Structure 1
Amino acid sequence: MSAEAHEGLGDRAHGWRRSFRHWRGQCPFWAGVLTLLGGLPIMYFPYANLTFGTVTIRMATTAGAGSLIIGVLLIVLGLTMWFQKHSRIFAGVAAILLALVSLVVSNFGGFVAGYALALVGGAMAIAWVPGAPVADPDPDPGPDGHRRAG
């Protein structure tokens, strides 16, 4: 490939990165990530088999279906925080409630890992507030550096 081809790829990657950064700033991104990651251990551990040599330990509980539903709902709530930022408070409250229910239903909330991630993600979604748009400074300040009364 020529140097020009590499430069074109860099411009596209830079543009993608800039648009991703802009999108990430417009929604509760990290709240969605933590909530989504919190759903994974809650969903996984009730169906996991741990093998130590020739001994297999099955973590299955009677509420395996409940754990699956809670995990899927937490993943959906994490995606909702990303793509429906106006319903972030509902998604945050629902994530906190599901995290609390997972303590009882799903092996102590995915051995507390999923519980903690979903709880913090829900709290971050409730606390997130969209930033105010940045105003451009007055291009023509007065002679003393202050804006003119207009």
Structure 2
Amino acid sequence: MSPESTGQNEHYLTVFRREFRTWRGNRPFWAGLFTMAGGLPIAYFPYANMHLGNVTLAMSTTAGAGSLIIGVLLVTLGLTMWFHQIVRVFAGVAAILLALISIPIANFGGFVMGFVLAMLGGALSVSWAPAQPKALTESAEDSDGFEEPAKDQAAPAHHGDESPVFTSAPPTTGFHGAAAYPGRQPAPYDTAADTDGGRPRA
């Protein structure tokens, strides 16, 4: 055994608890547990007998078979939520419907206990959704917080066919800004012609 493999030195209960926590987090665990717990009293009470001294009270009804079927179906749906969580929405809706049907059939839903547990388990199964991986969550946060680098303030901004517009003040040396814009020739107009309506230079 390598001394670096510290996982082998842990107690088996710690390893089991960690694996069970991982298994529980990948499925609607509490939904399945409540659904199965709700099916047990619904199926049990119609066939149970209470003894009060020498008196035996039988709580069986004419719909005892229906109560047994509802209880077994609720337990089956709870196991489906655990081991086949892809159909959790269907299982949750079916559990809610069976809980409602158990009120007039199975002694008011197992004396209301089974009804409440089955309704809670079905609602939890419908609303459960798998968690996103941590790596995807961190990458989404990084993409949202990305900031573009600041643009150069002195870069010219072109507007169609117009001359480039500088955000910073260009140098004022040269004739009609010839030094500020290399490659551009001064207009063939003198100052007198500019004031006289743009008469060309002779």
Please give the TM-score of this superposition, normalised by the length of structure 1: 0.84
The answer as to 2:131 corresponding to 1:134 is no
Q: What amino acid sits opposite 1:101 in the alignment?
A: I
- C-alpha displacement at 1:54, in angstroms? 1.2
Which blocks of at least 5 consecutive residues in structure 1 are unaligned?
A: 1-7
- C-alpha displacement at 1:11, in angstroms? 2.6
- C-alpha displacement at 1:148, in angstroms? 8.6
Distance 1:37 1:92 in 2: 14
Measured on the aligned residues, the alpha-carbon RMSD in Å equals 2.1
Q: Deviations over 1:50-98 (max 9, x none)?
A: 1111111100100111100000000000000000111000000000000
| SS, match of residue 88 in structure 1 | helix
Distance 1:62 1:120 in 2: 27
The answer as to 2:40 corresponding to 1:73 is no
Distance 2:9 2:30 in 1: 28
Matching residue of 1:18: 18
Once the two structures are overlaid, the 10-residue window that deviates more, 127-136 or 61-70, is: 127-136
User: Residues 102-113 of structure 1 correspond to what in structure 2 (within 5 A)?
Assistant: 102-113=102-113
Q: Deviations over 1:94-139 (max 9, x none)?
A: 000000000011000000000000001000000001111111858x
- C-alpha displacement at 1:12, in angstroms? 2.2
Matching residue of 1:125: 125
Q: What amino acid sits opposite 2:81 in the alignment?
A: M
Matching residue of 1:96: 96
| SS, match of residue 75 in structure 1 | helix
Distance 1:17 1:133 in 2: 21
147 and 16 in structure 1: CA distance in 2 versus 1, 3 angstrom threshold: farther
Please give the TM-score of this superposition, normalised by the length of structure 2: 0.63
Distance 2:9 2:101 in 1: 47
